[in-house]
Chain A
Amino acid sequence: MVEQGTIIVHSGDMDKIYSALIIGNGALSMGMEVTMYFTFWGLERLKKDGLDKGPLSKMNMGGLGKRMINSRMNQANVASLERLMRDYKELGGKIIACEMTMEIMGVKKEDLRQELIDEYGAVGTYIKEARKSKLNLFI
Chain B
Amino acid sequence: MVSLTNIEIDVRGETCPVPLVEARKALNKASPGDIVEITGTHPASKKEIPMVVEALGLELVDIQEKEGIWKIKIRK
Contacts and interface: CB of A to CB of B under 8 A. Distances in A.
Interface string A86-102: 01001100000000000
B-side binding surface: helix, strand, loop or mixed? helix
B20 A77 contact: no
Interface residues of A, number: 16
Contact of A87 (B25, B55, B56): B25
Nearest to A28: B24
B15 A30 contact: no
A28 B28 CA distance: 11
A22 B17 CA distance: 6
A29 B14 contact: no
Contacts of A30: 20, 24, 51-52, 55-56
B23 interface: yes
B52 A29 contact: yes
Contacts of B51: 30
A123 interface: no
B15 A29 contact: no
B13 A29 contact: no
Contacts of B18: 79, 83, 87
Interface in B47-61: 51-52, 55-56
A25 B13 CA distance: 18
B16 interface: yes
Interface in B3-48: 13-18, 20-21, 23-25, 28
Given A90-B25, A91-B24, A91-B25, A26 B15 contact: no
Given A28-B24, A30-B20, A87-B25, A79 B14 contact: yes
A76 interface: yes
A61 interface: no
Interface of A: 22, 25-26, 28-31, 76-79, 83-84, 87, 90-91
